[in-house]
Amino acid sequence: MDFALELLKGIGRLFLHPLTYLFLLVSFFVGLSRVKRERQNFHVRVFDFILEAKYLFFPGIIIGLILSVVTVLLGVYVSIGTIVLVAVLTFIISGPWTFKWLSPSYTVGLAVLATLLIPADGFCEGFIQTWSAQAHNADLPSLTILMSLLVLAEGYLIWKFGAKGTSPAIVKSKRGQEIGAHYSQKLWVVPLFVLIPGSAITSVFPWWPVLSIDGTSFSLFFVPFAIGFYQRIQSMVPFKSIEFTGKRVLALGVGLTIITIAAIFYPPAAVAVVILAIIGREWIRLQQRRSDEKAPALFTKRTQGLVVLGIIPHSPAEKMGLKVGEVIIKVNGIAISEVHKFYEALQVNNRAFCKLEVIDENGEVRFTQRALYDNEHHELGILFVHNYTKRDSQAG
């Protein structure tokens, strides 16, 4: 009964953590910034500004509850001072309003390294001195286990959810030409149950907790950890690039989890695990960026057809099954290679019917067709790279 009551209290503490509300605020600001860029590029909003907030707590809470089984069974112990340290580092590296550095390898990893620099008696006075002294005495194996589990969660989230709602954009290539790109910027809150100093729970099993902890009385804290992701893609279909990154991060998490076993029996090894995590995550990020920049741009002008850069949700294009990266070569039987030719060809049949000939991502030709209605998007909801400015000036 005491354990169940403490479980409910731990969930309640999630809403006392200031980062929970910071994450909501950052998500809304990032969403507003994205909408502003989309309107500048295409004169239309692609996704609602709440897109980033939509994925903030789900599926992160489900994953957090699953991983909490491991943290509670092992008896992962984190002091209030250590929680505050991770929160401060998360706040610092999340600015200005970016998710790029919010990998557990950085937030938790840097916290481990910071504990080595904090004086044994802490610094300043009052509660700051108390918290900093607690952070100095952090249980390194517990922090390393936390980091490894969260990196596993990061890899899975990127792999399965990172490609949802990628935002199209028009950017400049190294040669100064306009090309298309996609941005994925996600923030997931993954709350984990950890043990904190308290008197609510005593050792309920002879073998519990697995980790060595001074004292046997604890409380549960449902701590919200941030997992951020940012990636720009211009050389391949977004979901393929992002899935590949997710699998790499997942492999890193598996490796870190295996190596972390050494830190349980030899705590100084935790520092080596953290350094490996930071280097490994940074290598994955830089490798993706370099390979993407070196490869030929996918979303660019072609001699035959127009490549689909983006599709507005719930538009005729989405209902016709068009996908980002496919190439439209004919509209109503008319070959096209310019944006204005595409819209001219749509006027055939008085816009009552549309038939598209498309080259899919496998290089195969397929046909898609659909009746059009007056209340639907007049441009089918397809976004291309070129001539948005020119079309507007000609229309004016």
- pLDDT confidence band for 174 (50 / 70 / 90): confident
Omega into 96 within 30° of 0, i.e. cis? yes
Judged against a pLDDT cut of 90, whether residue 190 lies above it is answered with yes
Tens-digit pLDDT profile for residues 12-50 = 666 777 778 888 888 898 999 999 999 999 999 999 989
Which residues, 6+ apart, have CB-to-CB distance to 321 below 8 Å? Answer: 368
Alpha-helix runs per DSSP H in the chain:
2-14, 18-42, 51-54, 60-74, 80-93, 104-115, 126-136, 140-161, 238-265, 269-294, 316-319, 339-346, 388-395
Q: What are phi and psi of 200, to 5 degrees?
A: -80, -35
In the chain, DSSP finds a helix count (H) and a strand count (E) of: 13, 10
Tens-digit pLDDT profile for residues 114-143 = 999 999 988 888 888 998 999 999 989 999
Judged against a pLDDT cut of 50, whether residue 211 lies above it is answered with no
Tens-digit pLDDT profile for residues 319-364 = 999 999 999 999 999 999 998 899 889 888 666 789 999 999 889 9
Judged against a pLDDT cut of 90, whether residue 373 lies above it is answered with no
Judged against a pLDDT cut of 50, whether residue 180 lies above it is answered with yes
Judged against a pLDDT cut of 50, whether residue 392 lies above it is answered with no
Tens-digit pLDDT profile for residues 215-262 = 556 777 888 999 999 999 999 999 999 999 999 999 999 999 999 988
pLDDT for position 210: 44
Q: What distances in angstroms separate CA 318 from CA 52, 54, 238, 323, 360, one per listed residue? A: 21, 20, 17, 8, 15
Specify the amino acid at residue 356: L
Q: State the pTM of this model.
A: 0.90
Stronger pLDDT, 395 or 110, i.e. the higher one: 110
Please name which of 356, 361, 368 lies closest in space to residue 326, comparing C-alpha atoms.
361
pLDDT for position 127: 86
Q: Which residues are bridge partners to 83 per DSSP? A: none
**Rg of the chain (C-alpha set):** 25
pLDDT for position 14: 67
**C-beta of residue 185 within 8 angstroms of C-beta of residue 34:** yes
Judged against a pLDDT cut of 70, whether residue 214 lies above it is answered with no
Tens-digit pLDDT profile for residues 274-330 = 999 999 999 999 999 999 999 999 999 888 899 999 999 999 999 999 999 999 999
Written as six digits, the tokens of 34 are: 């994205």
Separation CA 225–CA 13 (nearest Å): 13
Average model confidence (pLDDT) for the chain?
86
Separation CA 307–CA 355 (nearest Å): 16
Separation CA 269–CA 137 (nearest Å): 16
Q: Given CA atoms 322, 162, 152, 283 in this order, what sign does their dihedral have?
A: positive
Q: What distances in angstroms separate CA 380 from CA 51, 315, 375, one per listed residue? A: 22, 6, 11
Separation CA 171–CA 150 (nearest Å): 33
Please name which of 179, 161, 162 lies closest in space to residue 170, comparing C-alpha atoms.
179
pLDDT for position 349: 67
Q: Mean of the pLDDT values across residues 51-62?
A: 90
pLDDT for position 396: 29
Judged against a pLDDT cut of 70, whether residue 97 lies above it is answered with no
**C-beta of residue 143 within 8 angstroms of C-beta of residue 108:** yes
**C-beta of residue 170 within 8 angstroms of C-beta of residue 179:** yes
